[in-house]
Structure 1
Amino acid sequence: MKGTQHPTGRRGRGPGRVLSLLLALVATIGLTSTAAFAAAGHKDTFSAEKPRPAAGPMDTVAAMQPSWNLGNTLDAIPDETSWGNPPVTKALFDTLRSQGFRSVRIPVTWTDHQSSTAPYTIDAAWMNRVKQVVDWALADGLRVVINVHHDSWQWIANMPTDHDNVLARFKATWTQIAATFRDSPQTLLFESNNEPQFNNTTDAQGIQYNSELNTAFHTVVRQSGGNNATRLLLLPTLHTNAGQEFLDTLVSEMTSLNDANLVATVHYYGWYPFSVNVAGGTTFDATAQKDMTDSFARIRNTLTSKGIPVYLGEYGLLSYPDHNHPPRVERGEALKYFEQFGYEARAAGVTTALWDPGTFAFLDRSTLRWTDPALINQIKSSWTTRSGTASSDRVFLAKSGPITARTLTLNPNGTGFRGLWQGGTALVQGRDYTVSGNRLTLTAAALTRLAGNRDYGVNATIEARFSRGLPWKIHVTTYDTPVLSNATGGTSGLTIPTQFRGDQLATMEARYADGGNAGPVDWSSYQEFNESFSPDYPGNALLLTPKFVNALRDNAQATLTFHFWSGATVTYRVTKSGTSVTGTVG
Structure 2
Amino acid sequence: MASRPGKIKAILLTAALAVAVAVPGNMNEASADSKASSAAQIVADLGAGWNLGNSLEANSNGYPSETAWNNPTVTQALIDKVKASGFKSIRIPVSYLRHIGPGPNYTINSAWLNRVQQVVDYAYNRGMHVMINIHGDGYKSIPYAWLICDASDQTTIKAKYQKVWQQIASRFQNYDQRLILESMNEVFDGQYGNPTQPCYSNINAYNQIFVDTVRRAGGKNTSRWLLVPGWNTNIDYTAGNYGFVIPTDQYRSPTIPSSERRIMISVHYYSPWDFAGEENGNITQWGRAATDPSRKSTWGQEDYLNSQLKMMYDKFVVQGYPVVVGEYGSIDKTSFDSSNNTYRADFAYEVTAAAKRYGAATVYWDNGANGQYGFGLFNRSSNAVTQQGIINDIRNGAGW
TM-score greater than 0.5 by the shorter chain: yes
**Equivalent in the alignment of 2:189:** 198
Q: CA deviation at 1:50?
A: 11
Look up the match of 2:130: 144
Q: CA deviation at 1:93?
A: 1.8
Checking the alignment, whether the CA contact within 8 Å between 2:158 and 2:206 is kept in structure 1 is: yes
- Partner of residue 103, structure 1: 89
Q: Decide which of 174, 177, 181 is 2:168's aligned counterpart.
A: 177
Q: Which has the higher strand share?
A: 1
* SS of the residue 2:307 aligns to: helix
Q: Secondary structure at the match of 2:235?
A: coil
Q: Which has the higher helix share?
A: 2
One-letter amino acid matched to 1:97? K
Asked if structure 2 preserves the Cα contact closer than 8 Å seen for 1:106 and 1:144, the reply is yes
- Partners of 1:321 and 1:327 within 8 A in 2: no
Per-residue Cα deviation, 1:423-471 (whole angstroms, up to 9, x for no partner): xxxxxxxxxxxxxxxxxxxxxxxxxxxxxxxxxxxxxxxxxxxxxxxxx
RMSD of equivalent CA atoms: 3.2
Q: Is contact 1:273-1:279 (8 Å) kept? A: no
Letter in 2 for 1:7: L
Aligned residue identity for 2:120: V
Distance 1:212 1:287, change over 3 A: same
> Who is 1:563 aligned against?
none
Offset, 1:144: 0.5
3-state SS of 1:218 partner: helix
Report the residue type matching 2:128 in the other structure.
Answer: L
Decide which of 321, 346, 353 is 2:332's aligned counterpart.
Answer: 321
In structure 2, what is the equivalent of residue 224 of structure 1? Answer: 217
2:177 alignment partner in structure 1: 186
SS of the residue corresponding to residue 369 of structure 1 reads: coil
Please tell me the residue identity of whatever aligns with 2:94: V
User: What is the one-letter code of the residue matched to 1:108?
Assistant: V
Distance change (3 Å), C-alpha of 1:85 and 1:208: same
SS of aligned partner of 1:336: helix
Aligned CA distance change for structure 1 residues 85 and 204 (closer, same or farther; 3 Å): same
Deviation for aligned residue 1:255: 5.6
Structure 2 residue 203 is the aligned partner of structure 1 residue 210: yes
Map residues 339-418 of structure 1 onto 2, 5 A cutoff. Answer: 339-360=349-370, 361-384=376-399
Kindly indicate whether residue 299 of structure 2 is the aligned counterpart of residue 287 of structure 1. Answer: yes
Aligned residues of 1:312 and 1:353 also touching (Cα < 8 A): yes
Counterparts of 2:347 and 2:91 in 1: how far apart (Å)? 22
How many residue pairs get matched? 356
- Aligned counterpart for 2:77 among listed residues 91, 113, 133: 91
TM superposition shift of 1:4: 4.7
Structure 2 residue 74 is matched with structure 1 residue 69 = no
Which amino acid in 1 is paired with 2:344? A
Task: Give the drift of 1:364.
Answer: 0.8
Once the two structures are superposed, the pairs formed by residues 375-524 of structure 1 within 5 Å of their partners are 375-384=390-399
Change (3 A) 1:158 1:343: closer
C-alpha distance in structure 2 between counterparts of 1:139 and 1:270, whole Å: 34
Matched, 1:34 2:23: yes
Q: Which amino acid aligns with 1:152?
A: G
Displacement after TM superposition at 1:138 (Å) = 0.7
CA distance in 1, matches of 2:104, 2:304: 44
Question: What amino acid is the match of 1:227?
Answer: K
Q: Is the 8 A contact 2:333 2:340 kept in 1?
A: no
* Mapped partners of 1:334, 1:210: distance in 2: 32
- Name the stretch that deviates more: 246-255 or 189-198: 246-255
For 2:132, give the aligned amino acid.
I
Larger radius of gyration: 1
Aligned counterparts of 1:107 and 1:113: Cα–Cα separation in 2 = 15
Which residue in the other structure is 1:9 paired with? 14
Deviations 1:156-204 (A, max 9, x none): 1265322112111111110110111111222111000011123579614
Say if 1:314 and 1:53 are closer, same or farther in 2 by CA, change over 3 A.
Answer: same
2:158 alignment partner in structure 1: 167
Residue number in structure 1 paired with 2:272: 271
1 CA distance for matches of 2:152 and 2:398? 44
Q: Report the TM-score, using the length of structure 2 for normalisation.
A: 0.79
- Aligned residue for 1:63, secondary structure, equals helix
Which whole-Å CA distance do the structure 2 matches of 1:339 and 1:49 have between them?
Answer: 37
Give unpaired runs (5+ residues) of structure 2. Answer: 140-144, 253-260, 287-295, 371-375
TM-fit CA distance, 1:338: 2.1
* Alpha-carbon distance in 1 for matches of 2:85, 2:33: 31
Instruction: Note if contact 1:73-1:85 (Cα within 8 Å) is conserved in structure 2.
Output: yes
Structure 1 segments unaligned to the other structure (5+ residues)? 11-28, 39-43, 386-586
One-letter code of the match for 2:332?
Answer: P
SS of the aligned residue for 1:144 comes to: strand
CA distance, structure 1, for counterparts of residue 320 and residue 225 of structure 2: 14
> Shift of the alpha carbon at 1:326?
5.1
Distance in 2 (CA, whole Å) between partners of 1:340 and 1:83 is 30
For residues 247 and 88 of structure 1, do their structure 2 counterparts lie closer, same or farther at Cα, with a shift above 3 Å needed? farther
* Alpha carbons of structure 1 residues 116 and 198: separation in structure 2 relative to 1, 3 Å: farther
1:551-578 deviation per Cα after TM superposition (whole angstroms, max 9, x unaligned)? xxxxxxxxxxxxxxxxxxxxxxxxxxxx
2:195 counterpart letter in structure 1: D
Q: Which amino acid aligns with 2:57?
A: D
Q: Do structure 1's residue 55 and structure 2's residue 36 form an aligned pair?
A: yes
Distance 1:326 1:82 in 2: 28
Q: Distance in 2 between matches of 1:4 and 1:163?
A: 26
SS of residue in 1 equivalent to 2:46: coil
CA distance in 2, matches of 1:359, 1:8: 21
Separation in 2, partners of 1:327, 1:115: 48
Residues 322, 155 of structure 1: alpha-carbon distance in 2 compared, 3 angstrom cutoff:
farther
- Give distance in 2, aligned partners of 1:322 and 1:281: 9
Q: Which residue identity is paired with 1:310? A: V
SS of the counterpart of 1:67? strand
2:90/2:129 contact within 8 Å kept:
yes
Provide the TM-score with structure 1 as the length reference. 0.55
